[in-house]
Structures are given as structure tokens and as C-alpha cells.
Amino acid sequence: MYICVLRSKRLRMYHHILVKIKQQHTGAQHAPDVCQLDIKSFEQVEKDVIMPYLNGKIFELGGHLVSKEKIAHIKIFRSQYETEYYCKVQDERNRVRGFLMGTKKAEIIHFPEYMTDITKDAIKSVQTSNLLATHPQPEKIQSGKR
């Protein structure tokens, strides 16, 4: 007889950033993608990526300095598990299909079955909270009965 014990545990979400760099006319085939994977805190994404991006400041992503002028587009994803877990799942799917190539962590970000694109909501959330911080709403005056 097996007994299964379930613990009430807050679901941890992981965040992933993908930045497509604008094509430079330097003879390169295509501009590189820059990504940062498995960020455990959305607050860290806000502080380290979204806020500098919205304010036109340079920020560090995956060991690269990125400026808004060089960005073709930015994507923010969320997943329930770390990318390494999804690599193992995808490798097993590939093995069953007869493919023996391993899946790299940076490739997993392109699999919509593992990632949820939250770009619009994330940026809108930061813009809204930033707007409220700089322009607080006036307090509502309650009218009392006499």
C-alpha cells in the first residue's frame, strides 16, 4: 500500500527573457539572440530588465550589455519548471521519435508548449505601477451622514 502525502507549497514560476538584436550590416549572417533563463523572481525581471528597457537604459542580459536601440524585440516568458527539466522532457520525446540530438536550454524558450509569453502583461504591469508611483491617485473623500 502506498501513501501519497501532498504538501501545500506555493507554485514557483520561472521567468525567461529573449532579446532579438537588430541586424547590423557588418557582414554577419544574422544578429544573435540574447537570453537569460530560469529567473526565479519577477521582481528581478522588473528591476534588471523591464525598467531599464522602458527607460532607454543599458542593461545586462545573459552576460551581454543590451541597449534599447539595438533591440529588434524583447520577449518575456514564464514557465512552471526550470529549462533543464523541459530539456529532459523534450529529449525523451525526441528519443521516442528516433532523434538522438539533445535539446539545449536556450532552445527550449522557442517551444510554446513549455513557455507562456507574458511580454505584454509584464510590460503593462510595470508601466502601470511606475505611473502610479510617479502620479499617485488622489484620495477619495467619503461623504458622511449628519
Report the alpha-carbon distance of residue 134 to residue 55 in Å, rounded.
14
What is the number of structural domains in the chain?
1
Stronger pLDDT, 140 or 19, i.e. the higher one: 19
Q: Report yes or no on 144 lying in a domain.
A: no
Residue 139 lies in a domain: no
Of 70-74, 122-126, 140-144, least confident by mean pLDDT is: 140-144
Domain that holds residue 29: 14-80+115-129
Q: Give the pLDDT band of residue 32 (cuts 50, 70, 90).
A: confident
Q: Is residue 74 part of a domain?
A: yes
SS3 content of the chain, % helix, strand, coil (to 5): 35, 20, 45
**For the chain, what is the mean pLDDT?**
83
Greatest extent of the chain over all pairs of C-alpha atoms, in Å: 80
Would you say residue 128 has pLDDT above 60? yes
pLDDT tens, position by position, 82-97: 999 999 999 999 999 9
Answer whether residue 23 is part of any domain: yes
- Grid cell 543599458 in the structure block, residue: 58
What is the reported pTM? 0.77
